[in-house]
Structures are given as C-alpha cells and as structure tokens.
Amino acid sequence: MVALCPDAGIPADTLKYDKAVKDNHGLDGLWKSTTSLVSVSDNTPIELYMEFKKLKGTLIIVNKSSRYTAPLKASIKNNKIYIIQLSPARGGQDSFLAYKYICSADRKGNLVCNATSSENSVSFNLVRVK
C-alpha cells in the first residue's frame, strides 16, 4: 500500500483518539481509511477497512472488485493502539502483505495509524462506517 494524498482533508467524523482508547470497546465497529491508498504491485486503488469487536478484528481490502481479508488483534499500551495483522490478507489467488499498525493522536486529536510491512510503510486516518 502507498498513500497518494497523506495530508488530504480529514472528514469531521474521523475517529477521535480519546474515544478509541477509552476502553476495550472504543474501536468496536467498522472503520475505513480516509487516505487514498494504492496497491504496491500494480498501482491500482484499494479500499482499506478494519472491523473490531473487543480489540479483535478483521482487515478487509477491496482491490479491483476483489475482497481480501486477514485477522487483526489490537492492544492499547502507553497511550498508543497497536494492531497486528496475523497473516497476509488473502482473496482468490492473490494476497497483500501483513502489516503492523501503531495508532496515536495527530495534532487535531484524530486517530492516525502508521502501518509497516516488510516492504512498505504508510499512514492513514480512520473514519467510522458503521
């Protein structure tokens, strides 16, 4: 994944950091990246979603009408949210590398996540979808 516009305007409903770390239910729900992301392999756009319940979740990547999923596990330590993608996101014959995410507050109090894989890193904000 590569960010196209990492400093693009943030929607008003971007997840606020203080609500996300309030308790083990702060991340509950479906979240979507507000940053334009593309696949490293072919520069096609992707949509990134994370769905959580009690700090356990699923990563969902939509790319070229295909859906890729991977399990997620989150923890809150030292005022940061750590999310581990437990395996590559798989769908059909392809997959997306596993990432580790470290999320904290940006200067406006919104939740910003820094994602790192063995080949790439990217930052993005999350907005609640439902």
List beta partners, residue 29: 52
- Say what the pTM is: 0.81
- Structure-token pair, residue 12: 């008003």
Distance CA 6, CA 101 (A): 16
Cα angle at 75 between 27 and 45, to 5 degrees? 60
Q: Looking at residues 98-122, what average pLDDT do you find? A: 88
Q: Over the stretch 12-70, which tens digit does the pLDDT of each residue have?
A: 445 565 666 665 667 788 989 988 899 888 899 999 999 999 999 999 999 988 999 99
Largest separation between any pair of C-alpha atoms in the chain: 40
Amino acid in the structure at residue 89: A
